Amino acid sequence: MNYTIEEKLPSVEEYIHLRQSVGWPCPGNRSIEKSLSNSIYCVCAVENDRVIGMSRLVGDHSFIYFVADVIVLPEYQNQGIGTSLMERIMSYLKGNVQEYSYITLMSAKGKEAFYEKFGFFKRPTGDYGYGMMVEL
C-alpha cells in the first residue's frame, strides 16, 4: 500500500464517506463545513488522490484540545494508517501546545488500547473523575 499523510481538510463528501464507513452518524452539510473549517489541525491519509483516513484537532487554540475523527476506511484498517495519523497529531501537539494543556478524546468502544500507546489514559483515576457527555 502506498499512501501519504497530508496536512489538509477532507471535503464534506469525503468526511461523510469516512464517517458512514465506520457507522458514525453525520450532521448536515452546513454543520460539517463549519466544523471542518474550525479545526485547529487536520491530517488525511491519501492513496491515489483518495482520502482513506483522517484525524483532526479542535479546541480553544490555547490549552484545551480534543482529538476528533480518527477514522480509517474499514478496508484499510489494521495496516498502520491510524497510527500514522495519530503520530502526526501528537507531533503537532508536542510542537504547538503550551505547558499544562489538556488533550482529550473519546475512544470508540474497544479502541482504548490504541490511544494508550500515545499516552492517553482511561478515566476515572485517583485524580480524575469520569469523562462525560450529553447528546442534544
Task: Give tens-digit pLDDT for 52-66.
Answer: 999 999 999 999 999
- Dihedral pair phi/psi, residue 27, rounded to 5°: -75, 180
pLDDT tens, position by position, 65-106: 999 999 999 999 999 999 999 999 999 999 999 889 999 999
Strand partners, 72: 53
Domain segments of the chain as ranges = 4-116
Tracing cell 471535503 back to the chain, one arrives at 11
Which CATH fold topology does 4-116 show? Answer: Aminopeptidase (3.40.630)
* pLDDT in the model for residue 93: 96
Mean pLDDT of the chain: 96
Distance CA 44, CA 4 (A): 8
pLDDT tops 80 at residue 1: no
* pLDDT in the model for residue 136: 84
Quick check: pTM over 0.95? no
